[in-house]
Amino acid sequence: MVSIGIDLGGTNIAVGAVSEEGALLSQVCVPTRSQRPYQDVVREMAACVRETLQKAQLPETALRSIGIGVPGAVDPVQGTVIGCSNIPWHGVPLRSEMQRYFSVPVFLENDATVAALAETVCGAAKGAGSCVMLTLGTGVGSGIILNGRPWNGAFRQGGEIGHMVLYPNGVPCACGRNGCVERYCSATALALRGKQACWAHPDSLILEKAGGDIEGITARMVMDAAKEGDAPALRAVSAFADALALTIDNIINFLDPEIIVLGGGVSRAGAFLLDAVLPRIPTTDRLDPRTLPSIVLAQLGSEAGVIGAAMLQ
């Protein structure tokens, strides 16, 4: 038996067949074209499910369940999409629409939660009873796993660590608050720090990596320049690491999960990121510093969305 995982994104839909052990057997990817009626999107999703099964040479009778990771708030009990940030869906009955094509159980979850579930079941947090995953990308997504199960809050609007306020009266955020975690800990925020550094220091290696185009600077260029010892880049990474360490410290004092997983674009900086962040997390007030949660890099990369969705139940 296999489960299908669907990673519904603002740009693409990835559909994969996943074994009970969490192995990705086959995958199909199509553009979301989210301005279409949702019924058309779901019809194409269903076609992709059939294609994915064919690629894995599996009959439809081998299909156990379909899980869908959604970039927004979902109601897994009602099977509806409450609302998304990058797709114009509000109150979409996604489960019942998908069940017009397949009679197997269909599960929905928020995509950041789905990625955390995948890392907990077969990735960096394998075997952990509790896990918080931060996805450091365009924004900061977060997924919470407690007692092995996703936790999305009583009103399905928890796990929004990206919109916790880190610096009151800080940088304005699209959510209406000022100083959100997302404005300091995302790839976007690190890129912005790189741009600011280059206005003050046009001789920075960051700007060289961007081919002289300040607006083309990415988080990766800042990290790469810092790895090579460029002083403005190192200062940008240092300020970024301060904010991320503060966020992680707050997560520990609130929830004290067994493992904290860092994913998303920024996490590709690897050990360099951990080396910058870990020494900034206070340990002196811990009753026993050895009991600090492990802080690790995500292992599953972009496949986490498909694998985690397939694991929903």
Question: For residue 180, what is the DSSP state?
Answer: B
313 binds a second copy (CB under 8 A): no
Interface with a second copy (CB under 8 A), residue from 250, 268, 278, 280: 250
159 binds a second copy (CB under 8 A): yes
Long-range contacts of 274-279 (CB under 8 A, 24+ apart): 276/237, 276/238, 276/240, 276/241, 277/241, 277/244, 277/245, 277/248, 278/245
Half-sphere exposure (CA, 13 Å, Cβ side) for 191?
A: 20
Supply the minimum distance, in Å, between the C-beta of residue 25 and a second copy. 33
Which region, judged by CB under 8 A, interacts with a second copy, from 116-124, 153-161, 191-199, 202-210? 153-161
Interface with a second copy (CB under 8 A), residue from 57, 157, 302, 313: 157
As given in the structure block, the two tokens for residue 98 are 């998908």
| Closer residue to a second copy, CB minimum distance, 66 or 166 | 166
Q: How would you class 29 by CB atoms within 10 Å of its CB: exposed for 0-12, middle for 13-18, buried for 19 or more?
A: middle
Supply the minimum distance, in Å, between the C-beta of residue 32 and a second copy. 20
Q: Which residues contact 287 (CB under 8 A, 6 or more apart)?
A: none
Half-sphere exposure (CA, 13 Å, Cβ side) for 30?
A: 17
154 binds a second copy (CB under 8 A): yes
How far apart are alpha carbons 295 and 197 in whole angstroms? 28
278 binds a second copy (CB under 8 A): no
Distances (CA, A) of 103 to 34, 99, 171: 25, 6, 48
Supply the minimum distance, in Å, between the C-beta of residue 263 and a second copy. 18
- The footprint of a second copy on residues 219-248 (CB under 8 A) is 246
127 binds a second copy (CB under 8 A): no
Read off the amino acid at residue 33: R
Supply the minimum distance, in Å, between the C-beta of residue 155 and a second copy. 4
As given in the structure block, the two tokens for residue 111 are 């995509």
Interface with a second copy (CB under 8 A), residue from 272, 292, 297, 299: 292
| Closer residue to a second copy, CB minimum distance, 16 or 179 | 179
As given in the structure block, the two tokens for residue 97 are 């629409």
| Closer residue to a second copy, CB minimum distance, 68 or 140 | 140
286 binds a second copy (CB under 8 A): yes
Supply the minimum distance, in Å, between the C-beta of residue 179 and a second copy. 9
Read off the amino acid at residue 99: Q
95 binds a second copy (CB under 8 A): no
10 binds a second copy (CB under 8 A): no
As given in the structure block, the two tokens for residue 40 are 């058309």
- The footprint of a second copy on residues 54-83 (CB under 8 A) is 73, 82-83
- In the complex, the residues that contact a second copy under the rule CB under 8 A are 73, 82-83, 128-130, 144, 146-147, 151-161, 163-168, 175-177, 246, 249-258, 282, 284-288, 291-293
